[in-house]
Homo-oligomer: A and B are copies of this chain.
Amino acid sequence: MAQKPSIPKGTRDFSPVEVAKRNYIINTIREQFQVFGFHPIETPSFENSETLMGKYGEEGDRLIFKILNSGDYLRKIDDNLYSSKDSNKLTSKISEKALRYDLTVPFARYVVQHQNEIDFPFKRSQIQPVWRADRPQKGRFREFYQCDADVVGSKSLWQEVDFIQLYDKVFTKLNLQGVTIKINNRKVLSGIAEVIGASDKLIDFTVALDKLDKIGEDGVKKEMLEKGIPESSIEKVKPLFNFTGTSSEKIDQLKNLLASSEIGMQGVEELQFIVNSVNEMPLETASLDLDVTLARGLNYYTGAIFEVAAPDTVKMGSIGGGGRYDDLTAIFGLKDVSGVGISFGLDRIYLVLEELGLFPETVVPSTKALFINFGEKEALYCLKAVNKLRSEGVVAELYPDNAKMKKQMGYANKRGVRYVVLAGTSEVDNQVFTVKNMHSGEQEEMNFEKLRGILI
């Protein structure tokens, strides 16, 4: 009967301390989402399979968790199909629902389904778990939270500016200084592809270019040649090998480089608007960096691309990302609705704050006063005080059992209780409490009003 309990691989239990720390991050993000005018929505944990399937590529389809139909799900299956014993074919017959894989596709579905109730531009935030049947590894889980903010229904670049300010505000509030917000533009990448004359080589090109720091200019050129990018093309984009300076300086270089590409120049102009606007309203703690190697979600984004890097002192992948997608809702039949959004990587932000010791000490709420239980009459006397204190928001508790003093004090110690309150027969008779300060070890007798005074 008894089982050795465990949880599925890639999932986690969160202890009270972990929940408190996670909520600290989530609440900080949520608060800034609100201040920036984003409205929270929530969508169901599972969607109809056809809503999700085919939206994330073949690999994505494979990683989506499918939910088995209820009841006698085999009854109506065609015998021929069944006897082929083909997992892929059977899946769509025995499973109609699937756990959400991200928050973006459900959001697109939401916008289309509720388009008549929504005022556009619609600024929505969403903080919910998602599930992926990925191979679990350090920092990668099968259940994890996404924290997203998106706007749909406007192409205004002021929104890109706003998102950069939002990143800066959240990380400033989290006291995480030295974050880099990298920015690029899909159109600039298209421009580069035009200039090197090989759209299909664009990813090879950016991947190689990204290694400049590590393998030097010669190494990068060698890799590009190996990938089949002709020397003449590499020559054309040579300025990218010395692509340094401020974002404004980089933009001037791009202008020369992409002069012949209409789409490229459009991307440069967009970058320029964003960079200039952010320069007019300096960021508090983050820095903005134009990074032409940034190509995340290449198939997906159509304009701005964002990625946030943790401070250099911490080894960690990106802690946030996002971008603009010009036709998000078209998959559900609503065309020409432009969207732009960003995401915060909760798990990685957690690891960064932990490593840098940035969680405030007060983040884990502890019991302010534990009342020792000396028996029925004394306990009632104490519980009356406890209730009055709780009404004023003080975290106070009565130890439930009349256990040995050592055990009760041990409980107080382990839970980091600030004050232990003792009331035996004589305290009850005199309507007072003996209060022990667990930090200083000092002990003092006082009436309820004084006790209340030190606890509030």
Contact = CB atoms under 8 A, between A and B. Distances in A.
A214 interface: no
A391 interface: yes
Contact of A121 (B50, B95, B400): B400
A48 B7 contact: yes
Contact of A8 (B48, B86, B365, B396): B48
Interface in A370-396: 373, 379-380, 383-384, 387, 390-391, 393-396
A367 B370 CA distance: 42
Contacts of A356: none
A129 B45 CA distance: 9
Contacts of A454: none
| Copies of this chain in its oligomeric complex | 2
Nearest to A367: B37
B8 A165 contact: no
A43 B50 CA distance: 28
A390 to B, nearest CB: 5
Per DSSP, chain A at the interface is mixed
A113 B6 contact: yes
A40 interface: yes
A67 B65 contact: yes
A117 interface: yes
25 contacts: A3-B331, A7-B44, A7-B48, A8-B47, A8-B48, A11-B46, A13-B113, A14-B42, A14-B43, A16-B40, A16-B124, A37-B395, A45-B45, A45-B99, A45-B129, A45-B143, A65-B68, A67-B99, A68-B68, A70-B133, A82-B85, A123-B397, A156-B373, A165-B390, A281-B383
Instruction: Give 8 nearest A-B pairs by CB, closest first.
Output: A2-B333, A11-B44, A16-B39, A156-B400, A37-B397, A14-B42, A66-B68, A70-B133
